[in-house]
Structure 1
Amino acid sequence: MASNQAGILTPPASGPRGIQSIEIGYRILVAIQMGPGAVALKDIAARAGVAPSAAHNYLVSFVRTGMVKSDGRGLYRLGPSLAALGMTAARDVDHFELVRVAAVELAEETGLGVAVVIWSNGPVILINQAAVRGRIFDLRNGPVEMLHTAAGHVFAAYLPASAVLPVLVRELETDGLAVTQAEAQARLERIRRAVIDRGYSVVELRTLPTYVAVSVPIWNTHGEVAYGLTITAPMSMLDTSPGSAQIRALREKGRELSRLLGAPAERWAG
């Protein structure tokens, strides 16, 4: 999926013919989901890319069905009927399959290798998707380093220091570097700041010096980082600047997954 100028995910133009009004209604619901809190009609319309009068007509029906709640001041929230549907869906959705399909889509869109990484006393590759266009090595599932992987830097940036500092110290000691607690904390802070300032991590792979990896966080319903979503390629094939098509595709996929996993809107909106 792509995002419109308001940051709302929109379905692809190609594919089977559907019912446009349902798709517009979906965009309106996502516009409310973006929050924060109750959202004004004019903001809903702008985010959904429709006229305020059209948005109002949809909202009237959504309020009648309980999918949206109005506070009577022209502000709207998602309603109890939608919450009930969401709770049922949450029980039925296979998150692993959701993330796996997203990795395949990202590999097809960028032509690069894609990995999904979790944290289990260190980064662990859960899913890897080989590059569609070849010439890029195939990652293997299993534990990887934190200090020398892009997903490792994502976890270092957003997990509590108590979880990542012992891993950082252990990896430095494995490299033959003894550091004090203060030195370890300073190194962790440099990693955190680089990732937070950029919005994603960029790491040149130590095991393959001519390769670079870029990773973004995927957030869960509690606003905690659940996965690192990573693309990998030779340096000559991957433009790591914020405006590159590859980075935009990665970040949009990370935001889409975060939204589908129920993350707070501030983690994915816009």
Structure 2
Amino acid sequence: MSLHDTADDAEPRGPRGIQSIEVGGQLLLALAHHGRPLPLKDLAREAGMVPAKAHPYLVSFQKVGLVAQDAGSGHYGLGPLALQMGLIGLQQYDPLRLATPLIEELAEALGLTVALAMWGNRGPTIVRVAEAATPVHVTMRHGTVMSLRDTASGRLFAALLPPERLREALGAGLDELATDAPFQQALSEIRAGQPARAEGDAVPGIHALAVPVFDSLGRLVLGLTVVGPGAAIDLGPQGAVARRMQQAAQALSQQLGWRGSA
């Protein structure tokens, strides 16, 4: 055995794949990235290959239903099998299951308490809490219903849920909030893309910031909320905490099939 053989044997080897599938997969990735049918030359360019090389892959993908070609324009788009696989994949994603380890990571990284809220029959409800190393002693535990007016989680849902969903839980109370000018201004800022914020409104000296998690249809499914002492949280929309929370929420939303942007 030569030194060369020994060095090769010492190198870690991953599972052996089929290169042609990996190459052809770049065409599927390009279609998924653009979200619309593309002509052959554009699709090939996006996948990093010449049209003559891309075409045989597309023919095979059409035969199994991964790609479909429009009869009129000749453009290539995702086929029925790809769509079925996408729907099945989305059904397998549970927002809470995906988000639970995420809030543990955020709590450790930020040194702040991070929670998940979902809309319940009485309003925004805390369903998971990840405590910071030095926990914040506020009423935020599993099952807590957050104030729509005075908490970041509540304002997030008030801004982004359809009015009929809000009325189911609040009834006539929704009309009272409609005349609260500062509250409505806060909702307008959230709808414009800013995080929901609460600066000591519920508990003096305690600040909170909440960002939305969307599903594949653009519906609000979770509120990702960070809570801590006022001195520890910069509530500015461009602050480090806001940026970290928004990045996490967007990544989680994309896992759930959302195709929007921050």
TM-score, length-normalised on structure 1?
Answer: 0.68
Classify the secondary structure of the residue corresponding to 2:248.
helix
Superposed, 1:21-170 pairs within 5 Å as 32-35=31-34, 37-38=36-37, 53=48, 61=57, 64-65=60-61, 66-69=65-68, 71=70, 77-120=77-120, 121-131=122-132, 133-137=133-137, 139-142=140-143, 143-164=145-166, 167=170, 170=173
The one-character-per-residue Cα deviations of 1:85-127 (angstroms, maximum 9, x if unpaired) are: 2333334433321121222232233232111101123110011
Larger Rg: 2
Deviations for 1:16-57, whole angstroms, at most 9, x for unmatched residues? x79999999989866644545346899989xxxx97625987
Q: Aligned pair in 2 of structure 1 residues 203, 40: CA closer, same or farther (>3 Å)? A: farther
Q: How much does 1:135 deviate?
A: 4.9
1:216 aligns with 2:218: no
Letter in 2 for 1:167: L
Cα distance change on mapping 1:145 and 1:51 into 2, 3 Å: same
Which residue identity does 2:163 align to in structure 1?
A: A
- Going from structure 1 to structure 2, the CA distance change for 1:163 and 1:85 (only over 3 Å counts) comes to closer
Alignment of 1:190 onto 2:185: yes
Percent of residue pairs bearing the same amino acid type: 27
Any runs of at least 4 consecutive aligned residues in structure 1 with deviations exceeding 6 A, and if so which?
A: 17-28, 40-45, 55-60
CA deviations over 1:117-150 (Å, ceiling 9, x no partner): 011231100111111x425347311212111111
Gaps of 5+ in 2: 1-13
Q: Distance in 2 between matches of 1:59 and 1:137?
A: 62
Length, aligned pairs only: 239
Whole-Å separation in 1 of the counterparts to 2:155 and 2:50: 42
RMSD: 4.1
Q: How far 1:226 sits from its partner (Å)?
A: 1.2
Between the aligned partners of 1:223 and 1:112, the Cα distance in structure 2 is 28
Stretch moving more, 162-171 or 77-86? 162-171
Compared CA separation, residues 215 and 19, structure 1 to 2 (3 A): farther
Moved more, 226-235 or 55-64: 55-64
- 1:211–1:188 CA distance, 2 compared to 1 (3 A): closer
2-side partners of 1:61 and 1:110: how far apart?
Answer: 46
Change (3 A) 1:233 1:182: closer
Choose between structure 1 and 2 for higher RCO, CA contacts under 8 A separated by at least 6 residues: 1
TM-score by length of 2: 0.70
